[in-house]
Amino acid sequence: MRKSEITLTVNNETYTLPVKPSETLASLLRERLNLTGTKIGCDEAECGACTVLVDDQPVLSCVYPAARADGKNIITVEGLAKMVHDVMKLHPIQEAFVEHGAVQCGFCIPGQIMTAFALLKRNPDPTQEEVRYALKDTLCRCAGYPMIENAILAAAHTLRTGDPLPLPEIFESIHKQEIVGRKHLRPDAVDKVTGDAIFTDDLKFDNMLYAKVRRAMVPHAILTKLDISKATQLEGVSAVLTAEDIPGEQNHGLVTLDWPTLIGVGQRVRYVGDAIAIVAAETSEIAAQAVQLIDAEFDLLPVISNPVQALAEGQTQIHESGNLLKHIKVRKGDVAQGFEESDITLEHTFHTQTTDHAFMEPECSIAVPLPDGRMEVYVGSQIPYQDRSQIARVMGWDEKRIRIVGQKMGGGFGGKEDIAGQIHATLLADATQRPVKLLYDRHESLIAHPKRHATQIRVKMGAKKDGRLVAVETELYGDTGAYASLGEKVMTRATTHSAGPYDVPHVRNDCYAMYTNNPPAGAFRGFGVTQSAFAVESMMDMLAEKLDMDPIKLRELNALHVGSVTNTGQELDESVGLL
Instruction: Quickly state the pLDDT bin for 407 (edges 50, 70, 90).
Output: very high
Question: Which letter, b or e, does each residue of 495-504 get, where b requires 16 or more Cβ atoms within 10 Å of its Cβ?
Answer: bbbbbbbbbb
Beta-sheet pairing, 259-260 with 87-89: unpaired
- Is the CB of residue 112 less than 8 Å from the CB of residue 49? no
Q: Residue 532: is its pLDDT beyond 80?
A: yes
Q: What is the pLDDT of residue 373?
A: 97
- Is the CB of residue 333 less than 8 Å from the CB of residue 267? no
Out of 79-93, 293-307, 310-324, which region has the weakest mean confidence (pLDDT)? 79-93
> How many CB atoms are located within 10 Å of the residue 408 CB?
17
What's the burial of 339, exposed, middle or buried (CB within 10 Å: 0-12/13-18/19+)? Answer: middle
Tell which residue, 274, 273, 246, has the closest CA to residue 391.
Answer: 246
Mean pLDDT of the chain: 96
- Rounded-to-integer distance, Cα 424 and Cα 418, Å: 13
Helices and strands: H and E segment counts in the chain: 16, 24
- Beta-bridge partners for 275: 215
- Rounded-to-integer distance, Cα 107 and Cα 142, Å: 10
Contacts of 136 (CB under 8 A, 6+ apart): none
Q: What is the pLDDT of residue 170?
A: 83
Strand, coil or helix: 330: strand
The 10s digit of each residue's pLDDT in 78-103 is 999 986 667 789 999 999 999 999 99
> CA distances (Å), 482 to each of 297, 411, 516, in order?
20, 24, 5
Q: Can you tell me the mean pLDDT for 542-546?
A: 98
Tell which residue, 101, 6, 96, has the closest CA to residue 54.
Answer: 6
Q: Residue 6: is its pLDDT beyond 60?
A: yes
Instruction: Quickly state the pLDDT bin for 539 (edges 50, 70, 90).
Output: very high
Q: What is the pLDDT of residue 421?
A: 97
What's the burial of 468, exposed, middle or buried (CB within 10 Å: 0-12/13-18/19+)? Answer: middle
The 10s digit of each residue's pLDDT in 12-71 is 999 999 999 999 999 999 999 999 999 999 999 999 999 999 999 999 999 999 999 999
Q: Can you tell me the mean pLDDT for 298-326?
A: 97
Q: What is the pLDDT of residue 85?
A: 64
**DSSP code, position 62:** T
- Topology of the domain covering 307-355+451-558: Aldehyde Oxidoreductase; domain 4 (3.30.365)
Q: Can you tell me the mean pLDDT for 321-339?
A: 98
- Rounded-to-integer distance, Cα 471 and Cα 341, Å: 9
The 10s digit of each residue's pLDDT in 198-225 is 999 999 999 999 999 999 999 999 999 9
Handedness of CA 241, 244, 245, 249 (dihedral sign): positive
Contacts of 364 (CB under 8 A, 6+ apart): 199, 200, 201, 379, 380, 421, 437, 438, 439, 440
**DSSP code, position 577:** -
Contacts of 320 (CB under 8 A, 6+ apart): none
Identify the architecture of domain 5-38+49-77 in CATH: Roll (3.10)
Beta-sheet pairing, 221-227 with 295-300: antiparallel
Q: What is the 3-state secondary structure (H, E, C) of 411-434?
A: CCCCCCCCCCCHHHHHHHHHHHCC
First to last CA, the chain: 76
> CA distances (Å), 54 to each of 10, 92, 220, 349, in order?
9, 21, 47, 53
Higher pLDDT, 170 or 349: 349
Strand, coil or helix: 561: coil
Beta-sheet pairing, 251-252 with 259-260: antiparallel
Q: Can you tell me the mean pLDDT for 257-284?
A: 98
DSSP 487-554: HHHHHHHHHHTTT-SB--SEEEEEEEEE--SSPPB---TTTTHHHHHHHHHHHHHHHHHHHT--HHHH
Q: Residue 422: is its pLDDT beyond 70?
A: yes
The CATH label, of 2.60.40.2470, 1.10.569.10, 3.40.50.300, 1.10.150.120, for the domain at 82-198 is 1.10.150.120
Region of residue 453 (left: phi > 0; alpha: psi -120 to 50; beta: else): beta
In single-letter form, the type of residue at position 10 comes to V
Higher pLDDT, 174 or 236: 236
- Is the CB of residue 444 less than 8 Å from the CB of residue 211? no
Handedness of CA 431, 432, 434, 440 (dihedral sign): negative
Long-range contacts of 50-53 (CB under 8 A, 24+ apart): 50/26, 50/111, 51/110, 51/111, 51/114, 51/115, 51/118, 51/138, 52/25, 52/26, 52/76, 52/77, 52/114, 53/114, 53/117, 53/118
The 10s digit of each residue's pLDDT in 111-149 is 999 999 999 999 999 999 999 999 999 999 997 899 999
Fold identical between 215-300+359-448 and 307-355+451-558?
yes
Instruction: Quickly state the pLDDT bin for 331 (edges 50, 70, 90).
Output: very high
Q: What is the pLDDT of residue 1?
A: 57
> CA distances (Å), 343 to each of 348, 446, 503, in order?
17, 47, 17
- Rounded-to-integer distance, Cα 33 and Cα 499, Å: 57
Beta-sheet pairing, 364-369 with 436-439: antiparallel
Q: How many residues does the chain have?
A: 579
Q: Can you tell me the mean pLDDT for 567-575?
A: 93
Q: Residue 450: is its pLDDT beyond 90?
A: yes
Q: What is the pLDDT of residue 296?
A: 98
- Is the CB of residue 66 less than 8 Å from the CB of residue 6? yes
- Is the CB of residue 368 less than 8 Å from the CB of residue 375? yes
Q: Residue 182: is its pLDDT beyond 80?
A: yes
Which sequence spans correspond to the domains of the chain? 5-38+49-77, 82-198, 215-300+359-448, 307-355+451-558
Instruction: Quickly state the pLDDT bin for 176 (edges 50, 70, 90).
Output: confident
Domain 215-300+359-448 falls under CATH 3.40.50.300: no
Strand, coil or helix: 388: helix
